[in-house]
């Protein structure tokens, strides 16, 4: 259902009262489902009392909504979602469509009538006024079902349980698409997973594609026999029939069975999250189950590559938008200021530490016990101690010096070096690429508008060892091959996710504890919505290759193993000779360029 469908719903609600009982209480008009009328009685939900006496416990909070968990005196547990209007755009939406709580209430009821899991709608309410305003949705607790994120990111279930979970999810989405249901925000946090209740009972969508006969009410009925133990132990039990429920359904679309074009667009949104967290084998199991379960559309398994390719492209566009958020404030980033120094910092950075640092950033480099790691004309790097409740933690502070009078003016019109490092540091971490977490970024300002000296505070890489030093001292071929395999996978993933380092030399790679490669010095990083082209990849591999030319124990065989590992880490590349030639020619060109400029290869 498009926005025009919501407009029609708004018009219908103006000429015909919504179905169900209506109660006026506390300046609100409440609309109750049969379950809500039985639970709350003739007086309706006592929402204001829940807020005043502490019965409502905040579960999730944001500017646009707050979700409360409420334990009622009768023993029932309900959730109250308070939806707010946060700006002109949200206000305009409320003018042309029903309140958000009403949309979610009606969509949940419609999903359950179709036999699709959704929260049990009990009531929705809005101010007793014709003007747009806040609204409240009340639903019943779906425990012991758990969010899909908890199963995938939390304590891992057994391999067989993960396999069945992938297949069950594929069948669930096939059922949704056959019934013309599209969730426009289908991240895993909006999907609940539970084990199927034992019959007799209402129908529910089972992981194995079966349906239990019963009434029109759907899964997770109160009092059903559902064992929560497998979820507490990290996942559903092996062989258990799984059922799913959708959350945040105010924008769910209903229509005809989805065509491949529409289904692909929706599957890409699901796959964006799983492409980073689920193995290729589990994603293939999901796809095979989806293809087998679609009854209204013949879907070929050969389309899986197209889906994966489209997902990678969608993720790259998504990451670009996510990275831009770190240029300002949001739920994890705040603005900081002290005198002529101002910038951004993560919200979990201790206030006392940050205030002292902002008061005089240069004094931090001269404190007793501070370890200066680098000092040159362009920058100074030092290791500081960050106090935390769990004890001191090492962090790295980098100062980028101003080398000309024009540099602050340039920084006014472009992103400075520390600002680029801040943005791309968070951008790489959004892409699940290993780099230290940026904690704060600030400048000294001249005349109040020109960013001069820049400062970047990051976490310290645990057990950090420079790749150059590690390889230079290593004489164990097996250890070097293991490092090469890990680094090759990181570099290939970086390129596939649209990131070009542009200074990928050995000193800009650290090995943390466990020999995991970590990328640093992100000033020149370029992140785009497209994969890094072949020529650029060849130059970056050549730059890394040139770092080891003066190490005779890094043989041609080791270099070839690294290249083959790089090619294996992505879409299969059979023509390794083409890559070897390109990297070799780019390496020769890099060596000649440094020789002409008199710069040593690092």
pLDDT at 290 over 80: yes
Whether residue 74 sits in one domain with residue 23: yes
Tell me the backbone φ, ψ of residue 357, rounded to 5 degrees: -70, -40
Q: What pLDDT shows up at residue 4?
A: 54
Same domain, 92 and 216: no
pLDDT digits (tens, 9 = 90+) for 265-282: 999 999 999 999 898 999
294, 325, 356 - which closes a domain: 325
In tens, the pLDDT along 119-129 reads 999 999 988 77
Three-state secondary structure of 105-141: HHHHHHHHHCCCEECEEEEEEEECCCCCCCEEEEEEC
Mean pLDDT of the chain: 85
- Domain count for the chain: 4
Six-digit token string for 488: 């090759």
Is there a single domain that holds both residue 109 and residue 233? no
Answer with the one of 325, 340, 367 that is the final residue of a domain: 325
pLDDT tens-digit series, residues 134-144: 899 999 977 77
- In this prediction, residues 2-31 reach a mean pLDDT of 66
**Are residues 420 and 561 located together in one domain of the fold?**
no
393 & 350 share domain = yes
What stretches of 128-254 adopt beta strand conformation (E)?
A: 135-140, 146-147, 181-182, 191-195, 242-246, 253-254
pLDDT at 387 over 60: yes
Q: How far apart are CA 153 and CA 166, in angstroms?
A: 14
My answer on whether 34 and 161 are in the same domain is no
**Res 336: pLDDT:** 95
CA distance 57 to 69: 5
* Maximum average pLDDT range among 59-68, 203-212, 580-589: 580-589
Same-domain check for residues 452 and 470: no
296 shares a domain with 215: yes
* Overall average pLDDT of the 356-362 stretch: 94
> What pLDDT does residue 227 have?
30
pLDDT of residue 230: 34
The answer to whether residue 379 sits within a structural domain is yes
> Exposed/middle/buried for 426, CB within 10 Å: 0-12, 13-18, 19+?
buried
454 and 377 within one domain: yes
Measured CA to CA, the distance from residue 254 to residue 147 in angstroms comes to: 23
Distance, CA of 111 to CA of 49 (rounded, Å): 31
Which residues, listed in sequence order, are joined to residue 193 by a DSSP beta bridge?
A: 146, 244
Distance between CA atoms of residues 18 and 301, nearest Å: 44
Same domain, 131 and 154: no
pLDDT of res. 232: 32
Residues 390-435: tens digit of each pLDDT: 889 999 999 999 988 899 999 999 999 999 999 999 999 999 999 9
Residue 472 domain flag:
yes
CATH number at residue 127: 3.30.200
Q: Which residues is 383 bridged to in the sheet? A: 371, 396
pLDDT in tens, 29-78: 899 999 999 999 888 899 999 998 889 999 988 888 899 999 998 888 99
Q: What angle do CA 512, 516, 522 make, to 5 degrees?
A: 75
Quick one: 254 exposed, middle or buried, by C-beta within 10 A (0-12, 13-18, 19+)? middle
Quote the pTM value. 0.83
473: domain CATH number is 1.10.510.10
Helix (H) or strand (E) holding 526: strand 526-527
Write down the pLDDT at residue 170.
95
Q: Which domain holds residue 200?
A: 147-325
The model's pLDDT over 93-120, given as tens digits with 9 standing for 90+, comes to 777 678 889 999 999 999 999 999 999 9
Domain final position from 433, 459, 485: 459
Q: Are 207 and 251 found together in one domain? A: yes
Spatial contact of 238 and 195, defined as CB atoms under 8 Å apart: no
Do both 378 and 409 map to the same domain? yes
The model's confidence at residue 236, banded by pLDDT at 50, 70 and 90, is: very low
Q: Is residue 602 part of a domain?
A: no
Asked if residue 177 is part of any domain, the answer here is yes
């Amino acid at each position: 259902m498009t926005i025009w469908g919501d407009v029609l719903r708004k018009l219908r609600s103006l000429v015909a009262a919504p179905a169900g009982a209506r109660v006026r209480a506390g300046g609100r008009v409440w609309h109750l489902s049969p379950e809500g009328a039985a639970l709350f009685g003739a007086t309706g939900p006592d929402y204001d009392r829940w807020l005043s006496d502490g019965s409502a416990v905040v579960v999730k909070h944001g500017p646009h909504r707050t979700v409360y968990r409420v334990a009622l005196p009768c023993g029932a547990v309900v959730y109250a979602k308070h939806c707010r209007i946060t700006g002109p755009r949200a206000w305009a939406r409320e003018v042309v469509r029903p309140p958000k709580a009403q949309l979610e209430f009606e969509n949940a009821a419609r999903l359950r009538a179709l036999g699709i899991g959704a929260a049990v709608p009990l009531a929705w309410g809005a101010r007793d006024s014709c003007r747009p305003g806040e609204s409240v949705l009340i639903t019943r607790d779906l425990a012991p079902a758990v969010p899909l994120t908890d199963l995938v990111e939390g304590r891992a279930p057994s391999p067989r349980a993960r396999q069945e979970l992938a297949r069950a999810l594929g069948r669930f989405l096939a059922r949704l698409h056959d019934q013309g249901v599209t969730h426009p925000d289908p991240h895993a946090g909006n999907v609940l997973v539970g084990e199927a209740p034992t019959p007799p009972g209402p129908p529910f969508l089972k992981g194995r594609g079966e349906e239990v006969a019963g009434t029109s009410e759907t899964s997770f009925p109160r009092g059903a026999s559902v064992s929560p133990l497998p979820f507490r132990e990290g996942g559903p039990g092996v062989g258990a029939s799984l059922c799913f429920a959708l959350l945040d359904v105010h924008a769910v679309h209903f229509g005809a069975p989805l065509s491949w074009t529409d289904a692909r667009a929706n599957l890409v949104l699901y796959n964006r999250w799983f492409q980073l967290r689920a193995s290729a084998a589990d994603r293939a199991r999901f796809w095979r189950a989806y293809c087998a379960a679609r009854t209204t559309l013949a879907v070929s398994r050969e389309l899986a590559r197209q889906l994966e390719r489209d997902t990678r492209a969608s993720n790259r566009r998504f990451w670009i938008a996510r990275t831009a958020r770190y240029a300002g404030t949001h739920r994890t980033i705040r603005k900081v200021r002290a005198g002529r120094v101002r910038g951004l910092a993560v919200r979990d950075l201790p206030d006392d530490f940050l205030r002292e640092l902002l008061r005089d950033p240069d004094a931090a480099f001269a404190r007793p016990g501070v370890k200066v790691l680098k000092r040159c004309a362009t920058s100074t790097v030092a290791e500081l101690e960050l106090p935390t409740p769990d004890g001191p933690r090492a962090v790295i502070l980098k100062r980028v010096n101003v080398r000309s009078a024009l540099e602050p003016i340039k920084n006014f019109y472009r992103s400075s070096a520390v600002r680029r490092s801040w943005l791309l540091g968070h951008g790489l971490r959004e892409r699940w690429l290993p780099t230290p977490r940026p904690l704060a970024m600030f400048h000294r300002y001249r005349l109040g508008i020109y960013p001069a000296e820049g400062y970047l505070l990051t976490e310290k890489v645990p057990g950090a060892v420079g790749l150059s030093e590690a390889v230079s001292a290593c004489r164990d071929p097996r250890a070097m091959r293991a490092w090469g395999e890990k680094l090759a996978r990181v570099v290939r993933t970086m390129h596939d996710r649209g990131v070009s380092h542009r200074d990928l030399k050995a000193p800009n790679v650290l090995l943390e504890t466990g020999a995991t490669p970590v990328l640093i010095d992100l000033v020149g990083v370029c992140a785009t919505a497209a994969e890094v082209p072949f020529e650029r990849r060849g130059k970056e591999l050549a730059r890394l290759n040139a770092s080891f030319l003066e190490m005779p124990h890094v043989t041609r065989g080791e270099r070839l193993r690294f290249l083959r590992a790089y090619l294996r880490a992505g879409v299969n590349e059979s023509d390794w000779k083409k890559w070897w030639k390109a990297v070799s020619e780019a390496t020769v060109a890099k060596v000649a360029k440094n020789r002409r400029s008199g710069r040593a290869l690092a």
